[in-house]
Structure 1
Amino acid sequence: MKKRIASSAVLGFLLCSAVTAPAQSVQDVVELDLVPGWRTETGSHMAGLRITLAPGWKTYWRVPGESGIPPTLTFAQSTNVHSVRIGWPRPGVFESYGLETIGYADEVVLPLEIKPTDASTKMNVSVRASIGVCRDICLPVEILFSSDIAPGAGAHEPLISDAIARIPKTVQSQTARCAVEPIRDGLQITAYLPVPAQGGTERVFLEPSRSDVWTSPSKVSREGDTITAVADLVPPEAKPFALNRSQMRFTVLGDKGALEMFGCQAD
């Protein structure tokens, strides 16, 4: 059974064009709810955070692109919840006003692997979602809601299973290499990723462990089964910093698929 308690506040408007658009109710644009799901063999619970958008609107992936708004999902107010791991299905690529953004249109289900503190009692999953939604204008919105999940096996839900199937697979049989050079306001990283072609125009997203580091769009080239990506990493202090190579996350996104690698060895 789904339970939704939602209060939404528009934090501001980011105009995406020179035309001033009328204000629009957040409830008319985006809704969030929890798809309850099932208990796994390991004792965790597989649920889904469903984001439903009005026609023509989109929201953003973990890495939103050149002009997108990065999403933040927190579960701190939940009860009987030990941890939550979020899955991110393969996103789409959108172009608007000459800028490229990465995200989802219409509807997306984010798989949530939830570990209860006590598996014999219900969980109350409380979500604070700070996300961006865009059409002709972009609205940064904050949505608060909670939902109970009863103990027990639950039922497999195709919406969640399909979303899990679209999460980029992790390449574990190969090792990424990366060269790091200091630049005036941070670091430049060149990553060599031994992954097969994913079709069409490939993009590579580089994510350091520090969430406050700005990462430039990467310059991508491919030779055989190795794709090379070059990007700048600029921290708030705007100077070179110590990069933890083992915590780097790389996502290769193509027209036909996506793959991920974690960590890289010095080149």
Structure 2
Amino acid sequence: MKAFVLLTCLAVPALAQGALAQSDPDDLPPGLVSAELLPGWITPDGHRMTALRLELEPGWKTYWRSPGDAGVPPRFDWQGSQNMAQVTPHWPRPEAIESGGERTLGYHDQLVLPLEIAPATPGQPVDLQAKVDFGLCLDICVPAHIVLTAPPVGDGPDPLIQSALAEVPEQSPDHPLCRIEEIADGMRVTALFPDENAPEVAMELPDTWVSQPELEQRDGMLHAQADFVGETGKPFALDPSQLVLTLIAPDHATEYRGCNTEG
């Protein structure tokens, strides 16, 4: 099963992991220069806008929310936080990264991931603590674990976070055509898009491992095909309305929520 690549990466010995309270350089895992939650600001609707900022050593990379065959997407544990109702990450457009013959989606140099926090009690302060598990890669991938506490909220919008928000994929109201079929260990989805300059496509489904899509230009359309493997390792009922499809070009990205199996 292709998901074995991901499980192998997660099984790297624990000595590659580290923990820190904000950004203690002595406790950072390999490949990481600094890590922090930015102060952020309070939005007009009363939400706290902050961001996870990771600064990476030269040549190292970390991963997007749906990185492909061999990547490790970040996972957050907010149990140490106070007055938090909901966290909405706003993922900036990733780039394609080639490493060890694998193509994944992620970031090099740094990741600024905006995080929008809805308070449980509006008007009251939101205290943030995050345990973050994520992948760091040079020639091989290692899992990293950090613990971060956000500083007090800032006085106004942060240009660094605003710049990252400007890179979030555009939301499209359209629903591309797609074909869904069973395979031995799950499901296969083929989505069709108008032929355009989008060298990368990401396909996502909650709680499901998804392969890096294979792309083909044919009959004036871009065909993107990926395998979806659930916990059972068997075919399952895949709801096309739950699919998230993202076309990623060097200077923009477009996100589609749901696809149309009719037509």
Q: 2:231 aligns with which of 221, 227, 236?
A: 236
Displacement of 1:108: 1.4
1:138 equivalent to 2:135? Answer: no
Provide TM-score, normalisation by structure 2: 0.82
How many angstroms apart in 1 are the aligned matches of 2:237 and 2:140? 38
Equivalences for residues 97-176 of structure 1 within 5 A: 97-150=100-153, 154-172=155-173, 174-176=174-176
8 Å CA contact retained: 2:185, 2:233? yes
Q: Please give the alpha-carbon distance, in whole angstroms, between the structure 1 residues aligned to 2:110 and 2:38.
A: 13
TM-score (norm 1): 0.81
Letter matched to residue 232 of structure 1 = D
Q: Any gaps of 5 or more consecutive residues in structure 2?
A: 1-12, 18-25
Q: Shift in Å at residue 169 of structure 1? A: 0.8
Q: Measured at CA, do residues 216 and 28 of structure 1 come closer, stay the same or move farther in structure 2, by a change above 3 Å?
A: closer
Q: For 1:133, give the aligned amino acid.
A: L
| Conserved? CA contact 2:69–2:210, under 8 Å | no
Superposition RMSD in Å: 2.4
Partners of 2:37 and 2:148 within 8 A in 1: no
SS in 2 for 1:159: helix
Does the 8 Å contact 1:123/1:148 carry over to 2?
A: no
Q: Which runs of 5+ in 1 are unaligned?
A: 1-9, 15-23
Q: Is the 8 A contact 2:178 2:259 kept in 1?
A: yes
Q: Distance in 1 between matches of 2:93 and 2:50?
A: 18
Offset at residue 117 of structure 1 (A): 1.9
Decide whether the 8 Å contact of 1:206 with 1:249 is kept in 2.
Answer: yes
> In the alignment, is the contact (CA less than 8 A) between 1:198 and 1:256 conserved in 2?
no
Number of residues of Structure 1 aligned to a counterpart in Structure 2: 241
Q: Where does 1:2-41 land on structure 2 (aligned, <5 Å)? A: 11=14, 26-27=28-29, 29-30=31-32, 31-41=34-44
Equivalent-residue separation in structure 2 for 1:225 and 1:42 (angstroms): 44
Other-structure match for 2:6:
none
> Aligned residue for 1:179?
179
Instruction: Give the corresponding residue for 1:53.
Output: 56
Check the 8 A contact 1:122/1:148 in 2, yes or no.
Answer: no
Residue type at the aligned position of 2:112: V
Cα offsets for 1:15-57 (capped at 9, x unmatched) = xxxxxxxxx9635632321112222122212211111112222
Cα distance between partner residues in 2 of 1:218 and 1:59: 19
Residues 250 and 240 of structure 1: CA distance in aligned 2, closer, same or farther (over 3 Å) = same
SS at match of 2:160: helix
Name the CA shift for 1:198/1:165 in 2 (closer, same or farther; >3 Å): farther
AA paired with 1:98?
A: G
Offset at residue 167 of structure 1 (A): 0.8
Give 4+ residue runs of structure 1 displaced > 6 Å after superposition: none
The residue aligned with 1:65 is: 68
Deviation at 1:165, TM superposition (A): 0.4
1:226 CA displacement: 4.5
Query: Is the alpha carbon distance of 1:177 and 1:162 closer, same or farther for their aligned partners in structure 2, counting shifts above 3 Å?
Result: same
Query: Offset at 1:88?
Result: 1.0
SS of 1:110's equivalent in the other structure is strand
Using the aligned pairs only, state the percent identity.
35
| 1:123 alignment partner, SS class | coil
Q: Conserved in 2, the CA contact under 8 Å of 1:89 and 1:164?
A: yes
Q: Secondary structure at the match of 1:241?
A: coil
